[in-house]
Structure formats: C-alpha cells, structure tokens
Structure 1
Amino acid sequence: MASLSLGLNLARKRGSSWSGAVERRNLLTVCRFSVKTLLDRSCYETIDDSSPEFINFVSILEHILINRLKGQTTWFGYESPRSFWDYVRVSCRRVPHSCIHSIESMENIHSSRAKGRAWIRVVLMEKRLSEYISSALRDFKTTRRFYEDGAIMLGEEASLLADTLIGLNTIDFSFCLKGEGLDGTCPAVIDYTPYLKFTQSSDSISSDEEEMRTLGSSASESSTPDNMVATAAAIFTEQSSWVSKCKRLEQKYSAVLEQKGYLQELVCLREGQLSEAVSQNKELQQRLLDTHLAHTLEKEQLEYIVLELQDQLKSLHSLEQSADMSLSQTSLEPSHSLSLDAKPATNWPHRGKEESPSLRGLCGSLTSVTSYKSLASLKSSECLASPTTDMTSPGLTPPS
C-alpha cells in the first residue's frame, strides 16, 4: 500500500508538472498571437482601451506575470494573494526615468491590481514595456523571491517574452487612466476564440496512437502468466503508469469538454447579439420609413401653399391692372375734366397731403394734351354760343 500511495503521488506530480508546462507553452503562444494581431490592427486603427485585441493582450500579460506568483505571508502565518504590481514595483526600481513613483502617487487608483494595469498602459504609451520586463528578469534574486518553481518568469521562456514584446514599440497607444479597465475587481479573462484551430496535427495523432498502443501492450503483457508471477513492486509500478496514463486521457477529455462548453456559450451569446441587432435594424428601418413619409407629406403641403400664394399674387395683379384701366378710362371722360376745372383751387392747398390713386389718375388726365384740347374747345363753344342763343331766341329779354 505504501508503494501504491508513492506511485500515486509521483503520478500526481508528473501530471501537475505536465499541465504546468502545457499552460506555460499555451500562454506564450497566445501572447505571440496577440502581439501579432495588435500589430495588424494598428495599421489601420488607433489602439485604445476599447480595442478587443488590446483587452485580450492585457489579460494574457497579467496571466503570465501572475503565473505561480507567491502569496504574501502575514504575521499570523496566513498567505494572502499578491498582485504582479508588487513584483514590478521592486524589480523595476533601477530602470532610468521610471514611472513607478508617478503611478504610486495616483489618487484615483488604490488597489495593487489597478496600479499594475495602469503601469502596463503607461509603459505601452512610453514604448518601454520590453525594457521594464528585461530589467525585472535581470534581477534574478528578486524574481526568485517572488515566484515559485516552474513559473514563466523563472524559465527560459521569459527572455523570449521580452523579445516578443519589442514589437509593441512600433504602435502608438492612447489610453485613459480613469476608465473601467483599471478596476481592480474586474478579473482578467482571456478570449481564446481568435486563436483556436479546429484541425488536428499529425504529431498529436501519432502521440495518441502511441499511447493507445502502449496501453494495449501493457494490458496484453499483464495478462500473460509470466507477469502474474512478477513481484509486487512491478505490479505497483505498472498500476502507477496506468493511473498516470488514465489521468492524461482524462485531462485531455476534460479540456475538450471545456472548449466545447465555451464554444456553445459563445455561440448562444452571438445568436442573442444577432437577434438584438436584427430587431434594432427593423426599428431603425421603420423610423426611416416614417420620417420619409412625414417629409413627403410636408413637402406636398408646402407645394400646395406655394401654388395658393401664386394664385393669390396673380389675382392681385389682375385686380391692379383692371383698376388702372378703369382709372384711365374715367380720366378721359369730359364730365370729370369739367368737375376738376370747376374746383381747381380746393385741391392746391392739399398737395402736401398724400393723394389717393383716383386723384392721381385724374390729375394725370388733366395734364395730357388731349384732355386740355377738349376742355378748351368746350369752353370756347360755351362762350360763343351763349350770347347768340340768348339774343336771337324769341321771347327772351336780355338781362339788365
């Protein structure tokens, strides 16, 4: 039983070390992919806090910096979780013109996680993230004090990480240090969807086949009579190997199930977003149609009003023309000219006052040559005809 428990412990250690190595390799691979997507996005768009590529990159970098980070031991012997800002603050103090002091003195940032996120944004805008990471890695004593064995910052992959981050110096970042991304309570979640590939390589197929062959061979060997007579140590060793192989298969199966569940949740989320977008599109189209109808009705009403105003203007012009014609005809009649000659003196004192249109027409007719001649002829005929008719008419006596 002791040998069996020892074998199980060894299997657990091997399984944990294998999963840790896979986690480190996956984080570094995804970090390279995220840097590449940031470089591609920066060619035609400004990178800020709202960019999904940047949010994913910051989450990956936080996971790398907190990989196997030691906790802080209190006076009572309890270990409390620690943020990567504690490590950066100590290990990057020798960087020339460091921004550590300015981030420490920020009033709107209090938690250590928020200060670490602010530090990432500041050094990205300064284009010095790789310089800070390299300086922290050179202080190996401090790095060893903050991280456990098997951490990314203690492995050979850390130098590759610093080389990968040099490419970010070509991007012009623009961040606001008062946004929601600096909230220390918000966890860093990595979105693996842009980096998933639904193809199985030949190496993984061959490794799975090899594992199945070894499982089959071990099963066949264990069924022979010679192995049944083997020692208990060999049996326990074989059992530990069986346990380790079953654990590996179980881990692969659980990883596939987790990916499947994640993709199903993502598909449901995208379907909900799509239905919401379709409903919003329908509402906007209906609003556009209603606005178009309202504008069409308003345009027709304005056109009708313009036509009515044009008709009224035409009627006013015709009335003015008819009034002018009637005034000109009345000015040519003799009775009007005589009435004006009979009272010439009453109108002269009132020239200073505003005259009516009929008086203007009558005055204009008196100044014309034809009206003057007709008036003179009438006066001459009256003056010549009255004495002869009075003297020659019988029965009439001349006045005394």
Structure 2
Amino acid sequence: MVLFIPPPPPLEQHLFLPPPDRDDPRGPALVLREQSGSAHRVEPGMASLSVGQHLSHKRGSGRSAAVERRNLLTVCRFSVKTLLDRSCFETIDDSSPEFVNFVSILEHILSHRLKGHTTWFGYESPRSFWDYIKAACSKVPHNCIRSIESMENVRSSRAKGRAWIRVALMEKRLSEYISVALKDFKTTRRFYEDGAVILGEEAGTLADTLIGLNTIDFSFCLKGDGLDGSCLAVIDYTPYLKFTQSADSISSDEEEMRTLGSSGSESSTPDKTATAASIFTEQSNLVSKCKRFEQKYRVALEQKGYLEELVRLREAQLSEAVSHNKALQQTLADTHLSHTLEKQQLEFIILELQNQL
C-alpha cells in the first residue's frame, strides 16, 4: 500500500489596497499579503523610484557605450592619417610609434565588448578577437588564416591576431577582411555583446577608413617576440591632443605685439620698434602661410592615395564582375545547346513512335 501525501499548496500572493488611515500622513500604502498571514508594507513611491533608477542607469550605460564607440573610431581615423603622413617621409615598420599606436587602437576596437567563451561547467573564459576573425573571414578568397594558424613561433590567440593584422597590411587587404567580417552579422552577433563597436551603426565607416592604408608598403618581421602579450596595448592619445592655433588667434597675437611695441620703454626709438614689429609680422605671416600650404599638401596627398586605392579596388571589382558575366554567358550557351540537343532527340523519338503506330 502506497501512502500518497499531496504537496503543500503554493503561496498565493494577493495585492490589495486597504482603506486609508486618516491618522497616517503618508496616505495609503500597498500591502503584499501571503496566505500564511504575513504582510509587507510597500510605500507607493519606492516602486517608481526603483524604476526611475533603473531607467537612468540604462540611459547612462547606453551613453557610455556610444561615447566609447565614437572615441575609438575617431582616434582610429586620426591614427590612419598620421600613418599616411609618416609614410610620405620614411618606411613604416614595427618600431614606428604611429604603427604601434594604430595596432593598439585596432586591437581595442576588435576587442570592445567581446564575449567570453563559456565552458561546460558554466565558467566564462576570455577569448581574443582572433577567434572572431577566424570564424568571420574564413570565406575570404585566398585568405591568410590557415598560414597564420600553422606558424610555429606564434602560439597564443592574441599573438595570432596581431600577426593577422600585420599580414593583412602587407597584403593590402585589411579593409577587405574587416568588410567581409562585418557582413557576416550572425557570426558578429555571436561573438560580441550589445553596444560593441563592431555592432554599431558606425562600424561601416571602419572599413572605409582602412582603405587608405592600402597605399602604404608595409614590411614586418613575424619571427620576433613582439607579438606575445597577455593584455591589450595602451593607446597613446597625446599625438592627437595637440593644440593648433587658429588664424584669428595668430592675428590677435600680432596685434598685441604691435601694441606692446608701440608702448615700449623710452630708451627704444620709434623706428626700431616699427622695424621689429614689421619683421615679426612678416615672419608670422610666412609661418602661417607655410603651415597652410603644408596642410593642403598633406590633404591632397591623402586624397590622391585614397582615390588611387579606390580606383584599384573598383577595377578589381569590375574585372571580377566581367569574368563572372563571361562565366554566366558560357553557362547559358551550354544550357541552350543541351536543351536544343534534348529537343531534337525528343522530336526524333516522337517521329519513331508515330511511324510504329
């Protein structure tokens, strides 16, 4: 004989509003009562306060993520410009400060809000952006992923990611890799959390920014120990925070110098003061003109390199489209020929059947 003991009834919660207590200045309160008879008093303003704090925290975290994305993409654009400027005067290698800073910025962008790897035991282990690149860029034609995986001196995942950046720059295909990875949205969502740079709307500008690097001939040695490192490299923001004096400010300084020159000491003669002021003004004008010409030259050089690379990319796309079109036309011709032969065979069979009848 089996004795069946029914389970205890579940606790049922009832939310009711008791009549207001006239002696209580706080007014009515919500009472949460369970079946056991215990009651908890909840003030009416506490619920709205907690909801307001939650919404405020959510808005603050969203703003912080947006500022992080904007900062990283902006400093990446500045870093690419400094690399283009430096490449006009010297060769870029591993020891160049501009390149070291650019690689640090790109690592931070690709590692921003990267999800960890969850094990069978529920623990989350950190992962590198190389895992994402390996999964998202596997469909890139003639990619370098397999060759990097087979490197003997590059063992850690972070070192392989850094080696991939250098190889992609030497191949002039870094922008292509990033563009293909961003198009694989399913894989990107699997590797990154909400608010990541890679998942943002501004991520499309990253590939466009990196196109300009294809005009630089990079040369790196992948056999050294510089690729190893257990943490992200630190970004140096100081090269991008330099103060540039505007033309209006320069003219204001010139006016101040002329005023100071006119009210100089009694020992200085008016002719000497006027001569010194004119020389200073002329020198300042020449310096400002030289800076403007240098800036225009650099902008024109950057535009030239960007347009040349864009033309090369469009020519490659056009050549690929032409070859694809030729292949489709050949397939269409072969299909038409096979259909014609099949039609003739069917007509011959029909004639034979008619003759037999």
TM-score by length of 1: 0.49
Does structure 2 conserve the Cα–Cα contact (< 8 Å) formed by 1:68 and 1:147? yes
Which string of whole-angstrom CA distances, capped at 9 and with x for unpartnered residues, describes residues 108-137 of structure 1?
Answer: 111100000000000000000000001111
Which string of whole-angstrom CA distances, capped at 9 and with x for unpartnered residues, describes residues 267-297 of structure 1?
Answer: xxxxxxxxxxxxxxxxxxxxxxxxxxxxxxx
Q: Specify the code of the residue in structure 1 equivalent to 2:87.
A: S
**C-alpha separation in 2, matches of 1:5 and 1:198:** 44
**C-alpha separation in 1, matches of 2:120 and 2:81:** 45
**C-alpha separation in 2, matches of 1:180 and 1:190:** 20
Q: Specify the code of the residue in structure 1 equivalent to 2:133.
A: V
1:47 aligned onto 2:92 = yes
* TM-align CA RMSD: 1.8
1:113 to 158, 165, 180: 158
Which string of whole-angstrom CA distances, capped at 9 and with x for unpartnered residues, describes residues 171-228 of structure 1?
Answer: 01111112233013253110000111569xxxxxxxxxxxxxxxxxxxxxxxxxxxxx
1:175 aligned onto 2:220 = yes
1:4 aligned onto 2:49 = yes
**C-alpha separation in 1, matches of 2:93 and 2:123:** 39
Which string of whole-angstrom CA distances, capped at 9 and with x for unpartnered residues, describes residues 29-77 of structure 1?
Answer: 0000000000000001110000000000000001110111111101110
Does structure 2 conserve the Cα–Cα contact (< 8 Å) formed by 1:27 and 1:64? yes
User: What residue is the counterpart of 1:130 in the other structure?
Assistant: 175
Q: Specify the code of the residue in structure 1 equivalent to 2:93.
A: D
User: What residue is the counterpart of 1:57 in the other structure?
Assistant: 102
1:22 to 56, 59, 67: 67
Structure 1 residues not aligned, in runs of 5+: 200-400
**C-alpha separation in 1, matches of 2:60 and 2:200:** 19
1:144 to 178, 189, 193: 189
Alignment of 1:77-88 (within 5 A): 77-88=122-133
Does structure 2 conserve the Cα–Cα contact (< 8 Å) formed by 1:49 and 1:55? yes
Q: Specify the code of the residue in structure 2 equivalent to 1:137.
A: L
**C-alpha separation in 1, matches of 2:95 and 2:231:** 15
Specify the structure having the higher radius of gyration (Cα).
1
**C-alpha separation in 2, matches of 1:95 and 1:181:** 27
Q: Specify the code of the residue in structure 2 equivalent to 1:116.
A: G
**C-alpha separation in 2, matches of 1:187 and 1:18:** 24
**C-alpha separation in 2, matches of 1:158 and 1:105:** 30
Alignment of 1:1-400 (within 5 A): 1-197=46-242
**C-alpha separation in 2, matches of 1:108 and 1:34:** 29
CA 1:70/1:132 → structure 2, altered by over 3 Å: closer, same or farther? same
**C-alpha separation in 2, matches of 1:171 and 1:133:** 18
CA 1:198/1:17 → structure 2, altered by over 3 Å: closer, same or farther? farther
Alignment partner of 1:108: what SS?
coil
Does structure 2 conserve the Cα–Cα contact (< 8 Å) formed by 1:112 and 1:184? no
**C-alpha separation in 1, matches of 2:123 and 2:146:** 29
User: What residue is the counterpart of 2:255 in the other structure?
Assistant: none
Structure 2 residues not aligned, in runs of 5+: 1-45, 245-357
Does structure 1 conserve the Cα–Cα contact (< 8 Å) formed by 2:107 and 2:232? no
Q: Specify the code of the residue in structure 1 equivalent to 2:171.
A: E
Does structure 1 conserve the Cα–Cα contact (< 8 Å) formed by 2:116 and 2:126? yes
Alignment partner of 1:153: what SS?
coil
Flag the structure with higher helix content: 1
The structure with higher relative contact order (CA 8 Å, sep 6+) is 1
TM-score by length of 2: 0.54
Does structure 1 conserve the Cα–Cα contact (< 8 Å) formed by 2:130 and 2:160? yes
Does structure 2 conserve the Cα–Cα contact (< 8 Å) formed by 1:31 and 1:57? yes
